[in-house]
């Protein structure tokens, strides 16, 4: 099963879990699904918190002693690992392992570092399974962890229970990641914040204080109800723990001039913190009821994007996806546009890598995966475009179109400034070139700089073809979607005028795969 198919199937399962009555049944359903999808022999979920064990596959028939398994809490490592099966410390697992020499272990840890449980898996080839499906297992393990943690939060306190241990000290990698995020949000020219997984505000950027008219982070927290009110903040954290992200949530505050301001909050939960943005929507709320309903619709989560984001564990990938989603969530009409354009761009790049059609340019093997990530930020500059223009359903006026075209320059400024701050070339270098140049045309008639043919970076030439194909085949308020064949014919007709002829040839070479992607994601 391909990764995209796995995510689709997992997202559908998560949606169905809402109708499952108990947490125990939800845990059982998730574990059995993983066994079936990956063809596993055994699966074991040990809930150290509740003192229960859930078995799936052939392990369901094994004589597993629950009480002995609960002693594994101190014997298993705190990190995911491939472990040997025959050791003294894991002797309680012998009936479960049934002779297997190795097994896969994924800890289920609460935000404060406590181990709530453990997911144990046995496959025919444990090494290949662990290395080949690590991200997919992480996704399932994260959902299992969230279910355990949410039930713990909802449970009434036990009488006469000993005090909880103090939270574990924050590790150096986590501190480094948060420090990097602090530097990054201060480079953004729209209001952003970083909040700890415990609900404490870690940092707000200069743009937030300036645009919302506060002198300090403390004053902002005191005046914003969703961060000030313990109950509202707790509900926010529960939703983030359950779904991984929030889009367009309404909240309000009283600014320094004693005026009530309505905000639209978008946030995503990373491994070490929550990163989010706030937009002042007061004027739009006052102007029209239609817009109020539109903003309210943003409260529905895009489960597939959030699920995809949970697959990425590296800080770089998490940062890219978080920023891209923050931009995309402001334009709810684009649907799965980000997913498709990333897939199209990587597919075209893979064909270039295979054929190497340029005499003066040789593509590096890692380039297709790099452009997959960088393409997510091609429209990051739209965060600086006013909602009255970005969300307008009618055709833009000439003046409005002139403003909209500036999103390429805004995207370049945001990403290039961040890239310079890092002091060396990074993934942001490629992303900044795409953001600036993906609307340039081969004949020099594009924007913002009217660059001609070979002067356009290769990455932007690829993104231009991917972006236009997706725009043609997607429905918009002002047009119906084109058929695949018509869209490809239009792009072929514009080769040498709008597009690099070589890139168009690469698209035609993988046309069937492009159609598969087109059909895979909803419009």
CB 40 within 8 A of CB 57: yes
Q: What is the pLDDT of residue 126?
A: 78
Rounded to 5 degrees, φ, ψ at 500 are -65, 120
**Sheet-wide strand order for 102-109:** 52-57, 42-47, 115-122, 102-109, 81-84
Closest CA to 316 of 369, 368, 382: 369
pLDDT surpassing 60 at residue 136: yes
Residue 426 pLDDT: 62
Helical spans, DSSP H, in 314-406: 315-328, 337-355, 367-374, 387-390, 398-404
Q: Maximum distance among all alpha carbons in the chain?
A: 77
Name the H helices within 438-510: 458-473, 484-493, 501-509
Mean of pLDDT values over 416-430: 67
Residue 188's pLDDT band, with cuts at 50, 70 and 90, is confident
- Long-range contacts, 100-103 (Cβ 8 Å, 24+): 100/41, 100/42, 100/126, 101/126, 102/126, 102/127, 103/42
State the pLDDT at residue 327: 59
Mean pLDDT, the chain, rounded, equals 79
pLDDT reported for residue 403: 93
Phi/psi for 64 (5° steps) reads: -90, 125
Of the candidates 329, 342, 293, the one whose C-alpha atom is nearest the C-alpha of residue 521 is 342
Tokens representing residue 341 in the block: 């354009």
Alpha helices, DSSP H, located in 288-336 = 289-297, 303-310, 315-328
| pLDDT per position as a tens digit, 237-260 | 888 888 888 887 888 887 767 778
- In this prediction, residue 344 has a pLDDT band, given cuts at 50, 70 and 90, of very high
Q: What is the C-alpha end-to-end distance of the chain, expressed in Å?
A: 23
**Predicted pLDDT at 70:** 60
What pLDDT score was predicted for residue 7? 76
Residue 398 has pLDDT above 90, yes or no: yes
Q: In this predicted structure, what is the pLDDT of residue 172?
A: 57
Cα 408 from chain centroid?
23
What is the Cα–Cα distance from 219 to 404, expressed in whole angstroms?
Answer: 34
CB atoms < 10 A from the CB of 186, how many? 15
User: How many CA within 13 A on the CB side of residue 396?
Assistant: 16
- Provide the pLDDT for residue 292: 43
Residue 38 has pLDDT above 80, yes or no: yes
Where do the DSSP E strands lie in 67-209? 81-84, 102-109, 115-122, 192-196, 201-204
Q: How far is CA 454 from CA 345, 446, 493, in A?
A: 19, 14, 19
Residue 265 has pLDDT above 50, yes or no: yes
State the CB neighbour count (10 A cutoff) for residue 424.
7
Q: What is the distance between the alpha carbons of residues 329 and 192, in angstroms, rounded to a whole number?
A: 14
The whole-number pLDDT of residue 68 equals 59
Distance, CA of 116 to chain centre: 24
d(CA 160, CA 399): 68
Question: Measured between alpha carbons, how far is 181 from 188 in angstroms, rounded to an integer?
Answer: 11
Q: Which two tokens stand for residue 464?
A: 């231009």
C-alpha span between 426 and 419 (Å, rounded): 7
Nearest to 316 by CA among 179, 182, 181: 181
How far apart CA 9 and CA 2 sit, in angstroms, is: 11
- Length of the chain in terms of residues written: 523
pLDDT at 141 over 50: yes
Torsion sign, CA atoms 90, 91, 94, 100: positive
Please give the pLDDT value at position 423: 53
H helices within 155-189, ranges in order?
Answer: 172-187
Quote the CA–CA distance of 504 and 511 in Å, as a whole number.
Answer: 10
Q: Distance between CA 36 and CA 310 in Å, rounded?
A: 21
Structure tokens belonging to residue 150: 């949410």
**Are the C-beta atoms of 252 and 294 separated by less than 8 Å?**
no
Highest mean pLDDT among 206-215, 263-272, 371-380, 465-474: 465-474
Which residue would you say has higher pLDDT here, 424 or 30?
A: 30
Give me Rg for the CA atoms of the chain.
25
Edge-to-edge, what's the strand order for the sheet holding 273-280?
Answer: 201-204, 192-196, 273-280, 260-269, 245-254
Question: In the chain, what percentage of residues exceed pLDDT 70?
Answer: 77
Over residues 373-396, mean pLDDT = 85
pLDDT for residue 460 is more than 80? yes
Digit-coded pLDDT (tens) for 300-323: 444 444 443 444 334 455 556 556
Q: What pLDDT, on a 0 to 100 scale, did the predictor assign at position 329?
A: 54
Q: Report d(CA 62, CA 64) in Å as an integer.
A: 6
Q: What's the pLDDT band for 298 if we cut at 50, 70, 90?
A: very low
Please give the pLDDT value at position 77.
77
**pLDDT-wise least confident of 62-71, 107-116, 178-187, 355-364:** 62-71
Give Cα 510 to chain centroid, integer Å: 27
Q: Which two tokens stand for residue 387?
A: 């909602």
pLDDT grade for 71, boundaries at 50, 70 and 90: low
Task: Assign 381 a pLDDT band (cuts: 50, 70, 90).
Answer: confident
CA distances to 3, 56, 489 from 121, rounded to whole Å, are 19, 10, 49
pLDDT single digits (tens) 283-293: 666 654 444 45
pLDDT at 250: 82
Its pTM stands at 0.44
For residue 363, pLDDT beyond 90: yes
């Amino acid at each position: 099963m391909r990764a995209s198919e796995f995510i689709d199937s997992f997202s559908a399962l998560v949606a169905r879990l809402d109708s499952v009555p108990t947490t125990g049944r939800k845990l059982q359903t998730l574990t059995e699904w993983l066994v079936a999808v990956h063809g596993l022999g055994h699966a074991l979920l040990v809930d150290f918190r509740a003192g229960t064990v859930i078995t799936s596959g052939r392990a369901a028939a094994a004589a597993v002693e629950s009480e002995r398994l609960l002693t594994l809490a101190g014997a298993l490592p705190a990190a995911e690992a491939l472990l040997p099966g025959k050791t003294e410390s894991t002797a309680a697992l012998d009936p479960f392992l049934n002779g297997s020499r190795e097994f896969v272990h994924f800890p289920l840890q609460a935000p404060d570092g406590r181990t709530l449980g453990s997911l144990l898996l046995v496959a025919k080839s444990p090494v290949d399974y662990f290395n080949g499906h690590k991200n997919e297992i992480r996704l399932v393990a994260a959902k299992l962890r969230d279910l355990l943690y949410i039930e713990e939060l909802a449970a009434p306190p036990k009488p006469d229970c000993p005090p909880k241990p103090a939270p574990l000290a924050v590790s150096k990698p986590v501190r480094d990641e948060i420090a990097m995020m602090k530097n990054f949000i201060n480079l953004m020219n729209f209001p952003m914040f970083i909040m700890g997984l415990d609900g404490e505000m870690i940092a707000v950027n200069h743009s937030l204080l300036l645009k919302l008219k506060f002198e300090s982070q403390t004053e902002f927290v005191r005046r914003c109800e969703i961060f000030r009110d313990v109950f509202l903040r707790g509900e926010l954290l529960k939703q983030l723990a359950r779904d991984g992200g929030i889009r367009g949530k309404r909240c309000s505050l009283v600014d320094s001039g004693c005026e009530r301001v309505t905000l639209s909050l978008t946030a995503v939960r990373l491994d070490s913190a929550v990163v989010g943005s706030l937009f002042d929507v007061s004027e739009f709320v006052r102007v029209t009821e239609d817009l109020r309903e539109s903003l309210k619709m943003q409260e529905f989560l895009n489960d597939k994007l959030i699920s995809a984001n949970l697959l990425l564990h590296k800080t770089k990938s998490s940062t890219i996806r978080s920023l891209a989603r923050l931009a995309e969530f402001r334009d709810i009409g684009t649907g799965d546009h980000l997913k498709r354009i990333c897939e199209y761009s990587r597919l075209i790049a893979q064909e270039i890598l295979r054929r190497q059609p340029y005499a003066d340019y040789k593509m590096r093997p890692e380039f297709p995966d790099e452009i997959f990530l960088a393409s997510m930020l091609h429209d990051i500059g739209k965060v600086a475009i006013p909602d009255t223009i970005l969300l307008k359903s009618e055709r833009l006026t000439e003046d409005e179109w002139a403003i909209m075209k500036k999103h390429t320059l805004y995207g370049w400024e945001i990403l290039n400034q961040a890239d310079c701050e890092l002091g060396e070339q990074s993934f942001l270098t490629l992303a900044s070139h795409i953001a600036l140049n993906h609307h340039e045309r081969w004949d020099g008639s594009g924007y913002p700089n009217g660059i001609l043919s070979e002067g356009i970076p290769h990455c932007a030439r690829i993104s231009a073809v991917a972006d236009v194909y997706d725009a043609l085949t997607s429905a918009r308020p002002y047009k119906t979607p084109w058929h695949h064949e018509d869209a490809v014919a239009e792009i072929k007709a514009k080769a040498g005028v709008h597009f690099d002829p070589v890139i168009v040839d690469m698209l035609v070479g993988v046309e069937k795969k492009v159609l598969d992607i087109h059909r895979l994601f909803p419009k």
